[in-house]
Amino acid sequence: MSNSARPPKRRMFGPGTTIEDLKTYMGPFAASLGYRFNTEAEFVDEVLASELEILEATGDVYCPCRIRTGDPKEDVAIICPCIPFHREQFAAIRKCWCGLFIRTDVSDGAELLGVMDEPEAGTPIDIPVCRVSDLKPGSVRHVKVGKNDLAITRVGDEFFAVSNICRHAFGPLGDGVMEGYELVCPWHGWRYDVRDGTTDHPGSDLRVQPLFIVNEYVMIRTSA
């Protein structure tokens, strides 16, 4: 196929995108997940300059420290910021792969540059799932944390996490609605108490996971 016959690249950013454009776009999104740009400003600019080169060559801002497979469904997990796809691992090392983003509780990003030490098995890992202010009372959102597929809910100032999959016909509970403490499945109306995962249907209770608040973030604890 000649170059003129090839379909145009789908660009996430238009021609002339700058480092500052990337910062403006990525910063708020990373902050919603409990991360911020590294405190080493020169390093940040170097990484984003590399991403601009990748953007020009590929049409998207793939992570400069990861190798693309060529399969868009796989490579979506390394488009920057790729924090949602690697919540557990990044929370454990307190930064993303290359160190462009660090957790908001890290004061000096320079200490983490080049560090890829994985925690020992069984080590508790506290993972930010969202900001408190981003989950309004009575709302629900779907969150993936490693192998955990969860529906995160808020009732007043209380936060709950239950399995995202309805036990009836595998409906997505993260798309459901809250009525008091009950999460209602959007497909067939099955109801689950988010405090303990119970339902009126025998043998169909949901798994629950405790959440807690640290500063302005809703957190979940897993282990390495």
Find, among 220, 25, 206, 21, the residue nearest to 127 by Cα: 220
Q: How far apart are CA 82 and CA 1, in angstroms?
A: 32
What is the predicted pLDDT for the residue at 10?
55
Q: Are 204 and 197 in contact (CB under 8 A)?
A: no
Instruction: Please tell me the least confidently modeled range out of 6-20, 41-55, 127-141, 204-218.
Output: 6-20
Amino acid at 152: I
In the chain, the domains with their CATH numbers are 3-118 (3.90.460.10), 127-223 (2.102.10.10)
Question: Which candidate, 143, 150, 165, places its Cα nearest to that of 33?
Answer: 143
Band of pLDDT at residue 184, cut at 50, 70 and 90: very high
Q: Which residue's entry shows tokens 């959102």?
A: 141
Residue 224, pLDDT score: 66
Average pLDDT, the chain: 91
Which pLDDT belongs to residue 81?
96
Segment 149-169 shows an average pLDDT of 96
Give dist(CA 45, CA 51) in Å, integer. Answer: 10
